[in-house]
């Protein structure tokens, strides 16, 4: 894999790079509190109204992200690779800055913060990409706080096949709370 250091350690980027990523969504029982969680890694919630700062779990000290390491805030050049994400709940753009490493699939950065977000039905996202499918009308809240947005047709399909829907939340209201929580704009549908 080719890696290129976009911002050398002494010259951190001051203008952000905008890239794509997906998140899992977690929230309180009533859906009033929502948090973005990474799909992989330590699953710590993304901070609210402040940037996330990458850190490294390796014992050796090095600038984050390191060229010889896998640490950093990940994002992709485009959303095609994200379609293979396992059960994403939120699609969005993220601003990356600080020390940034570019590789074939995207970036690893020192700092990041979401810019635009939208709930996605993971079935529609997998089948048709980020612009396919209707808006997420509902969200299913599972034990442990994980929230899975679904469009109405896929919710009906899940019910028809006996998939448990323990607690339904209003998807549009949930998306508004997410945008308000992180103080970001909605990601347009097309």
User: What pLDDT score was predicted for residue 11?
Assistant: 56
pLDDT by position in tens, the chain (length 190): 445 555 544 556 668 999 999 999 998 878 789 999 998 877 789 999 999 999 888 766 888 998 888 899 999 998 877 877 778 999 999 999 999 999 888 999 999 999 999 999 988 888 888 877 788 888 888 767 889 899 989 888 888 887 776 678 899 999 999 999 999 999 998 7
User: What pLDDT score was predicted for residue 179?
Assistant: 97
What residue ranges do the domains of the chain occupy? 3-185
User: What pLDDT score was predicted for residue 132?
Assistant: 73
Residue 15 neighbours by CB under 8 Å, 6+ apart? 97
User: What pLDDT score was predicted for residue 181?
Assistant: 97
User: What pLDDT score was predicted for residue 1?
Assistant: 41
User: What pLDDT score was predicted for residue 58?
Assistant: 75
Alpha carbon 184 to its chain centroid, in Å, reads 13
User: What pLDDT score was predicted for residue 135?
Assistant: 85
- Taking the C-alpha atoms of residue 30 and residue 140, their distance in angstroms, rounded to an integer, is 11
């Amino acid at each position: 894999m080719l890696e290129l250091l976009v911002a050398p350690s002494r010259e951190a980027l001051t203008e952000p790079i905008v890239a794509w990523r997906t998140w899992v969504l977690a929230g309180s029982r009533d859906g009033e509190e929502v948090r973005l969680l990474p799909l992989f890694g330590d699953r710590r919630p993304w901070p609210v109204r402040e940037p996330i700062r990458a850190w490294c779990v390796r014992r050796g000290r090095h600038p984050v992200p390191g060229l010889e390491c896998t640490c950093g805030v990940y994002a992709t050049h485009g959303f095609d690779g994200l379609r293979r994400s396992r059960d994403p709940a939120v699609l969005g753009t993220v601003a990356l800055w600080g020390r940034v490493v570019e590789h074939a699939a995207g970036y690893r950065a020192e700092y990041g913060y979401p810019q635009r977000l939208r709930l996605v039905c993971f079935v529609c996202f997998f089948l048709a990409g980020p612009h396919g499918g209707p808006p997420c009308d509902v969200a299913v809240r599972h034990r442990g706080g994980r929230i899975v947005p679904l469009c109405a047709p896929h919710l009906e399909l899940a019910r028809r096949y006996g998939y448990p829907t323990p607690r339904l939340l209003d998807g549009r209201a949930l998306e508004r709370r997410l945008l308000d929580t992180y103080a970001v704009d909605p990601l347009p549908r097309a």
